[in-house]
Amino acid sequence: MTLNYMTGAEAVIKALVDNGVEVIFGYPGGAVLPLYDALFENKKIKHILVRHEQAAVHAAEGYARSTGKVGCVLVTSGPGATNAITGLTDALMDSVPVICLSGQVPTHLIGTDAFQEADTTGISRPCTKHNYLVKNADKLCEIIHKSFEIASSGRPGPVLIDLPKDIQLTNVKYIKKLQKIKKHNHYHSNVDEVLINKVAKLLLQAERPIIYAGGGVVNSGPKASKLLTELVNLLDCPVTLTLMGLGCVPNTNKNFLGMLGMHGTYEANLAMHNCDVMLNVGARFDDRVTGRLNAFAPNSKKVHIDVDKSSINKVVSVDYGIVGDCKEILSVLVQEVKKLHNQKVLKLKTKWWSQINKWKEKDSLGFKQIGNNIKPQQAIKSLYEKTIDFDTYITTEVGQHQMWAAQYFGFSKPNRWMTSGGLGTMGYGLPSSVGVQIAHPKSLVIDISGEASFLMNMQELSTIVQYKLPIKIFILNNEWMGMVRQWQELNHGSRYSESYTSSLPDFVKLAESFGITGLRVDNIHNLEATIDEIININGPVIADIRVEKEENCFPMIPSGAAHNEMILNSDDNVKDTSNEGLALV
Amino acid sequence: MSVYQKNELEEDETSRTLSLIVDNQPGTLARVIGLFSGRGYNIESLNVTEIDEIRNLSRISLVTRGTSNTIEQIKSQLLRIVPVHIVRDLTLEGPFIKSELALVKLVVKGANRVEALRIAETFRARTLDVTLSSFVFELTGKPSKLDAFIDLMRSLGDTEVSRTGVSAISRGDKTETKLLDQI
């Protein structure tokens, strides 16, 4: 064999190395055996064997979101690929850069309903940013290099490459990654200085401004978060973050009002409702954030910075739309604001802040820890306080525990918070924590979980044990699919149809069966000691935190309601949900 | 439009002709069509063929209907598709030509045969096939002209129609050459 010639499978692995891949999450099968053979001798890529392909994608997402790199997945054809679909959709909705390699039956068998054949490119088309079926081995290397560019540029997202087995076995000439790959030309940052200057003036002269930022800032890199914080401090204006944006302004910043939206704080939502100028940086006016659209920030001028042009004016019409990468646009905006700042055009916002402080006095996240039962809010709060000095990464599943984690856990840096926002995938957190811990072996990685979500991907305990990952699984166990139960209570006359998590395992014994530590606590007086134990144990822990069973997650904007129609607690006069609201999820 | 909002001032929907330059590769058309079905947009007409063999490019001419907001969304969403390189809104850009080809089979006997031929002549349709009991006509032109012709043929007998969908191009000396060179 001459130099530079190798099998397709070897070329794939070499191309991954060329693109900086160090870890790949996968599961073998018939159609990817040549790829696994090429991995066998490879020292540069570490393969992490998951126990289900969905978990492989979530692990890659956790890896990607906690590092800013591209996550990489390898699955076999047919069921391997279809199992990965939930993960790919999740990555698409939350704009996570992921490359998924899937095996396929050999090209001459495609379309014959061969064993473990599925139309993978057809199935994955609507849930990937782009996908390829490699039918010509000469294009193989180019396609892989291009895929990394597509996954990580502009608004990031998943790219799937379907690799027929004969292509993996063909001899190909390896083509190196070009120094400069031609950028996908749809994502030009439009640094329009005239427009940005106008926006700077608008912000400085606003009487009641607010900045609302989201995952786009995190995706843009740590510099974008620094610039955003600088802007907030320069303008001395309130800032609120979406679920995906948590951490891009430190929670300790005095201008930070907490998360906004359906379970956001009272002050954040009221400030959004009453602002006169709103600057949206890297968020997409998601329905969890806006509530009823025709009552969304009704008297405000809106500015929207987004890398994806189609996000601008999609659901909310804005006065100024700026298409571009957050850090590029923010760096110009900060400069413009500084220039104007020196000319003393900044309006005083004393009245605005005193109004906001009045809203804060409502203490919308307040709760009463009485009796011996553990309030879930207290569990998160204590976990936060105990881990504040650690190098901590948090993942979550989906439901009440996720919202409580967002409300009561503080994030001082971006990339520390991995949660399934757009798709709302139960079972995301445990596999995601695998990816995070692989990327940060020395850090404290905690999966804040609910007992129902945990059951959805608990097979990954086996992965955790195999790779000796010291992940702490913090299960807020209320024996209910809590969020479902809460909506049934609020919207369906407390008819709790199928939302009780019956026949739960004994989590302590479950942990022991995997040879790891299981802890249980059901009394508030033992909570802190248990958390200390969780942190101090050198290895994985499953902690069964028995919490108050019927606690609801408040504050809340009921579905179909506006920001100023929040309910703060169960004693609030809850209006019956409108018929329109009932139809909403 | 979001489920949260019934737009009070529902703007009139208008028809728009879009012209797309895309990579001629499997899956591109599926992504374009999937976008329309997945997000609930309308397609009134769609026509796609390779136009540049060397660069492997195809043109999709597409007629859609919607409010100006919806059309802006459609254009932005189309541009997100990786193999879509250029999206032109011909309706917005200025004067343009829309043309379509129809093949119309008419089964007809007796006196109506003469009438059919007379109408075909008026419309400058070509007669491609004749039997004692049928004709096949070929007609090109604006969709509205084709509609009128087909309506008349239907009143004369049993018909079968095959249309290509609209092909469109802007008037004047402006071309896409520069845009294409950037691909």
Question: What is the secondary structure of B101-116 as a DSSP string?
Answer: EEEEEEE--TTHHHHH
Count H helices, E strands: chain A? 23, 20
DSSP annotation of A249 = S
CB A169 within 8 A of CB A107: no
Would you say A73 and A133 are in contact if contact means Cβ atoms under 8 Å apart?
no
| CA–CA separation, A8 and A4 (whole Å) | 11
Question: pTM for the complete prediction?
Answer: 0.95
- Choose the mutation target among A121, A155, A185 for the interface with B, i.e. most B CBs under 10 Å: A185
Which candidate from A133, A287, A309 shows the least CB-CB separation from B76? A309
The amino acid sitting at A352 is W
Q: Which amino acid does the sequence have at B69? A: N
Beta-strand pair B126-131/B167-170: unpaired
Q: Is A418 a catalytic residue?
A: no
Q: Does the pLDDT of residue B167 top 80, yes or no?
A: yes
Cβ–Cβ gap A312/B82 under 8 Å = no
Q: Are A171 and A7 in contact (CB under 8 A)?
A: yes
Query: Cβ distance A428 to A402 under 8 Å?
Result: no
Pairs from B119-125 (Cβ < 8 Å, separation ≥ 24): B119/B149, B119/B152, B119/B153, B119/B156, B123/B148, B123/B149, B125/B149
Helix (H) or strand (E) holding B169: strand B167-170
Structure tokens at A69: 């790199």
For the residues of A126-156, what is the DSSP string, one character each? GGSSEEEE---GGGHHHHHHHHHHHHHSSS-
Tokens of A6: 């190798």
Catalytic site includes residue A328: no
SS3 A578: coil
Residue A549 CB: number of other CB atoms within 10 A? 14
Q: Which two tokens stand for residue A279?
A: 């600057």
Region B123-145 average pLDDT:
97
Judge whether A249 and A213 are in contact, CB under 8 Å: yes
Q: What ipTM did this prediction achieve?
A: 0.89
Task: From chain B, pick out residues whose CB is under 8 angstroms from the CB of A292.
Answer: 4-5
Let me know if A390 is a catalytic residue: no
Stronger pLDDT, B92 or B11, i.e. the higher one: B92
Find the catalytic residue in A22, A116, A223, A335: A116
3-class DSSP state for residue A180? coil
Q: Looking at CA atoms only, how far is residue A146 from chain B in angstroms?
A: 11
> Which of the four pLDDT bands, split at 50, 70 and 90, describes residue B7?
low
CA distance A481 to A213: 30
CB-nearest to A125 from B27, B69, B183 is B27
Residue A212 has phi, psi (to 5 degrees) of: -125, 115
Contact A294 B8 (CB under 8 A): yes
Query: Distance (Å) from the C-alpha of residue A547 to the closest C-alpha of chain B?
Result: 34
Of B3, B73, B79, the CB nearest to A314: B73
| Set A69, A146, A165, A360: catalytic member | A165
Pair of tokens at residue A73: 């997945």
Per-residue pLDDT of chain A (585 residues; tens, 9 = 90+): 456 789 999 999 999 999 999 999 999 999 999 999 999 989 999 999 999 999 999 999 999 999 999 999 999 999 999 999 999 999 999 999 999 999 999 999 999 999 999 999 999 999 999 999 999 999 999 999 999 999 999 999 999 999 999 999 999 999 998 877 666 656 677 789 999 999 999 999 999 999 999 999 999 999 999 999 999 999 999 999 999 999 999 999 999 999 999 999 999 999 999 999 999 999 999 999 999 999 999 999 999 999 999 999 999 999 999 999 999 999 999 999 999 987 777 778 999 999 999 999 999 999 999 999 999 999 999 999 999 999 999 999 999 999 999 999 999 999 999 999 999 999 999 999 999 999 999 999 999 999 999 999 999 999 999 999 999 999 999 999 999 999 999 999 999 999 999 999 999 999 999 999 999 999 999 999 999 999 999 999 999 999 999 999 999 999 889 999 999 987 776 667 777 778 887
Judge whether A483 counts as a catalytic residue: yes
For A291, which residue in chain B has the nearest alpha carbon? Answer: B4
Q: Which helix (H) or strand (E) holds A379?
A: helix A376-387
As beta bridge partners, residue A474 has: A448, A543
Chain A interface, best mutation among B1, B3, B4, B21, by max A CB count within 10 A: B4
What value, to the nearest 5°, has the Cα angle with vertex A447 and ends A443 and A448? 130
Check residue A444 and report its DSSP letter: E
Other beta carbons within 10 Å of A49: 13
**Token pair of A295, please?**
């009552």
Cβ <8 Å between B4 and A308 = no
> Which of B:33-62 have CB within 8 Å of A?
34, 38
> Please, which pLDDT band fits residue B10 given cuts at 50, 70 and 90?
low
Among candidates A110, A94, A124, which has minimal Cα distance to A31?
A: A110
Residues paired with B87 in a beta bridge:
B20
pLDDT tops 50 at residue B4? no
Q: Give Dmax over CA atoms of chain A in angstroms.
A: 78
d(CA A501, CA A544): 14
Residue that has been written with the tokens 């956001």 in this structure: A264
Pairing type for strands B96-107 and B167-170 reads antiparallel
* Inter-chain CB pairs, A–B, below 8 Å: 59
Q: Is A556 a catalytic residue?
A: no
CA-CA distance, B107 to A77, in Å (whole number)?
52
Task: Write out chain B residues lying below 8 Å of A583, CB-based.
Answer: 3
- Is the CB of B77 inside 8 Å of chain A's CB atoms? yes
d(CA B87, CA B177): 14
Indicate yes or no: CB of A310 within 8 angstroms of CB of B80. yes
Contact between residue A102 and residue A128 where contact means Cβ atoms under 8 Å apart: no
Beta-strand pair A46-49/A98-104 = unpaired
Q: Please name the residue ranges forming H helices in A30-159.
A: 33-40, 53-67, 79-93, 120-124, 140-152
Q: What is the dihedral of CA A158, A132, A439, A326, to 10 degrees?
A: -40
Which amino acid appears at position B7 of this protein?
Answer: N
